[in-house]
């Protein structure tokens, strides 16, 4: 497995792959791997000849009060884990390689998909995500790119950008990988104290409770929303950032559940902010 730090080395690597008529799968990440990341890489490995994983904690997608400085990093450990699933190259550029001499071009997504959920709580976040992802697409020129359904809004934003800008890449969404107790795996779970970690599965439990009600016939959006909000609010260590329900995949407001809907939550445990979601089907 190769560790690549510069855009020019990455281009040379990709040119070599292309010369052999091989397909490329890209897995963009911020590192500090867990099984969720590995699942993306395994999917890529099954569908593509060569798999490139990028590890880049992109400053552009962090707000001024967010955890850019403290975000967990461990390249050695990530390298070992990526090797176990057969990743061919890790692209891990420094900021000066990604944004040399500052930066004056950004990809700004329209509001339809970004004025809600994490987009409204993290101003500029999806501009940062879209910009870095299009840069990674241009650098690695993948046939397919893999994203986790854990960041459901991100998948929709990337899909929209790919469609709107005619980017020649297939976006593949991979299901959420969870711990045994249901907590969605996340690099940020490391921030949780033991007491917070014990109660953190409440995110998924509340989503499952809502899903059960829908399966029993409940269709009222306010009712479904309040099942989740009430359950999370009953936990003193948890602070609800948002609970939201939209039609899926177009993210329109709904009063009554019809066909598919995205039920998504963001919850703070002290300084740690965790997200989770589930797709409901009427």
- Choosing from 151, 197, 243, 272, the residue that interacts with ligand AMP (CB under 6 A) is 151
Which positions ≥6 away from 43 have C-beta within 8 Å? 146, 172, 174
- Choosing from 54, 127, 186, 196, the residue that interacts with ligand AMP (CB under 6 A) is 186
Q: Does 136 bind ligand AMP (CB under 6 A)?
A: no
| Closer residue to ligand AMP, CB minimum distance, 48 or 257 | 48
Starting at the earlier edge strand, list the strands of the sheet with 260-269. 239-247, 260-269, 272-281
- Binding segment toward ligand AMP, per CB under 6 A, in 28-36, 42-50, 240-248, 257-265: 28-36
Beta-bridge mates of residue 25: 51, 144
Residue 221 contacts residue 257 (beta carbons within 8 Å) = yes
- Binding segment toward ligand AMP, per CB under 6 A, in 136-144, 180-188, 210-218, 264-272: 180-188
3-state DSSP of 61-126: HCCCCCCCCCCCCCHHHHHHHHHHCCCCEEECCCHHHHCCCCCCCCCCCCHHHHCCHHHHHCCCHH
Draw the binding track, 36-55, toward ligand AMP (x: CB under 6 A; -: no contact): xx-xx---------------
* Peptide bond before residue 59 is cis, with ω within 30 degrees of 0: no
Determine the size of the site formed for ligand AMP (CB under 6 A).
Answer: 17
Active site residues per annotation: 37
Which positions ≥6 away from 270 have C-beta within 8 Å? 191, 193, 196, 237
- Choosing from 17, 24, 29, 134, the residue that interacts with ligand AMP (CB under 6 A) is 29
- Choosing from 43, 187, 196, 205, the residue that interacts with ligand AMP (CB under 6 A) is 187
- Residues at the interface with ligand AMP (CB under 6 A): 29-30, 36-37, 39-40, 147-148, 150-151, 174, 176-177, 184-187
């Amino acid at each position: 497995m190769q560790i690549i730090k510069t855009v020019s080395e990455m281009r040379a690597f990709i040119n070599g792959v292309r010369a052999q008529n091989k397909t490329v799968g890209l897995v963009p990440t911020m590192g500090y791997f867990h099984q969720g990341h590995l699942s993306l890489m395994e999917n890529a490995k099954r569908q593509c000849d060569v798999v490139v994983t990028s590890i880049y904690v992109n400053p552009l997608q962090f707000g001024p009060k967010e955890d850019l400085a403290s975000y967990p990093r461990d390249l050695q450990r990530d390298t070992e884990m990526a090797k176990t699933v057969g990743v061919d190259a890790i692209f891990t550029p420094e900021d000066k390689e990604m944004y040399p001499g500052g930066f004056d071009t950004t990809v700004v997504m329209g509001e339809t998909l970004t004025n809600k959920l994490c987009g409204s709580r993290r101003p500029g976040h999806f501009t940062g995500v879209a910009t870095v992802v299009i840069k990674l697409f241009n650098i690695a020129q993948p046939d397919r790119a893999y994203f986790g359904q854990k960041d459901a809004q991100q998948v929709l934003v990337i899909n929209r950008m790919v469609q709107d800008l005619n980017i020649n890449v297939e976006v593949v969404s991979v299901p959420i990988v969870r711990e045994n107790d249901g907590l969605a795996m996340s690099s940020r779970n490391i921030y949780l104290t033991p007491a917070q970690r014990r109660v953190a599965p409440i995110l998924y439990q509340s989503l499952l409770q809502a899903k059960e009600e829908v399966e029993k016939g409940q269709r009222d959006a306010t009712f479904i929303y309040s099942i989740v909000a009430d359950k999370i609010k009953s936990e003193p260590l948890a602070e609800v950032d948002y609970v939201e329900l939209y039609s899926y995949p177009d993210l329109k407001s709904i009063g009554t559940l019809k066909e598919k809907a995205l039920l998504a939550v963001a919850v703070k445990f002290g300084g740690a902010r965790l997200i989770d979601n589930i797709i409901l089907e009427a």
